[in-house]
Structure 1
Amino acid sequence: MSKVLNVLLIEDDVIEVMKLNRAISSLQLNHNVIEANNGEEALDVLQNKGELPDIILLDLNMPKLNGIEFLEVLKKDDILKYIPTIILTTSSNQRDLLECYKIGIAGYVLKPLKYEEYITKIQSVLAYWSINELKKI
C-alpha cells in the first residue's frame, strides 16, 4: 500500500515549482509538498526536526546555497543525513552527477523538456518512494 509522502521541494524557479504541484495534482496524488526557494531556506525548514520530510527533491542550480553545498551540509547532520534526497535537475554534467552520488544522494533525475515525460518521471519517483521503507527519525 502506498503512503502519503511529505516532500521537501528545493527549487528556485517558480515555474518548476508550479510544474511539480501541477503534476502531483494531475496524477491525483495526496502528497504534501513543502517548498523552499534555495538551500538556505531549506535548512531553515529542516531545523525543526520534529516534522521532517520523507524525501527531498533538490535542484542543483540555485542562488545562496546551491544543491551540492546543501547536500554537503545535510549529509553531515546525524539526523538529516537519512532523508532520501533525489536530485531533480536540468544538469546532465557528469561531474555534478558523480559529486552528488559521492556525497550520498538516493537518485539523480533529469528534468525532461516535454511535460508528458516530466509527469512520467515524477510519477515513477513518487511511486517508488511511497512504497519504499523509509527510516522514521
Structure 2
Amino acid sequence: MLIYLVDDDQEDQEIFDMALCDSGVKAKLLCFNDADAVLSQINSSPVKPDYIFLDLNMPKINGLECLQMFVNNSITALSKVIIYSTSSNEKDIKETMALGAHNYLVKPVNFKVLVESIKKLLKAS
C-alpha cells in the first residue's frame, strides 16, 4: 500500500509516520510539504497512491484548492483522499466530502487515537 501525506507541518508528518508504523498497517509513506510537490509527484510517477491524506491549512495552495485539483485531474478516481485537518468545522467537512474526499479525519490530540483512526480507515477499505 502506498500513502501520500500532504502537510506543511514537519512535526505532524513525523507523528503521522510513527502512528502509521504503530498501526500495524503495511504501507509506504511519502510526505509532501505542499500541493505543488504532491501534484508534481502524481503527474510524474506511473504508480499512484492508494491513499492521500491531505491537510486543509497550508500556505500558497490550501487543501481545499488541492482537493479541487485532484478532482479536476481524476486523481480521486485512482486514490482515496482523506482530509486530515485540525478543523472540525462542519462546513469544512461537508464541503470537502461534497467535492470528492473519501473521508475526513480530525487530527487527534492523543497519539493512541491517531493510531486507531489510521488503522480503522485503512483496514476498512
> What residue is the counterpart of 2:99 in the other structure?
103
Runs of 4+ in 1 over 6 A off after TM superposition: none
> What residue is the counterpart of 1:63 in the other structure?
59
Check the 8 A contact 1:40/1:64 in 2, yes or no.
no
Q: CA deviation at 1:127?
A: 1.5
Q: Could you give the per-residue CA deviations for residues 13-52 of structure 1, whole angstroms, max 9, x where no partner exists?
A: 1111101111122234320011111111111111124111
Check the 8 A contact 1:23/1:122 in 2, yes or no.
yes
The one-letter code of the counterpart of 1:111 is K
TM-score by length of 1: 0.84
How many residue pairs get aligned? The number is: 124
Give 1:46's match in structure 2, choosing from 42, 47, 50.
42
Determine whether 1:36 maps to 2:32: yes
> What residue is the counterpart of 2:113 in the other structure?
117
Taking every aligned residue pair, what percent have the same amino acid on both sides? 27
TM-score by length of 2: 0.92
Q: CA deviation at 1:81?
A: 2.9
**SS in structure 1 of the partner of residue 117 of structure 2:** helix
> What residue is the counterpart of 2:12 in the other structure?
16
> What residue is the counterpart of 1:73 in the other structure?
69
Q: Could you give the per-residue CA deviations for residues 93-126 of structure 1, whole angstroms, max 9, x where no partner exists?
A: 1221111011111001111111111111111112
The one-letter code of the counterpart of 1:127 is K
Bigger Rg, structure 1 or 2: 1
Indicate the RMSD between aligned Cα atoms, in angstroms. 1.3
Structure 1 residues 97 and 27, CA gap change in structure 2 (3 angstroms): closer
CA distance in 2, matches of 1:28, 1:63: 32
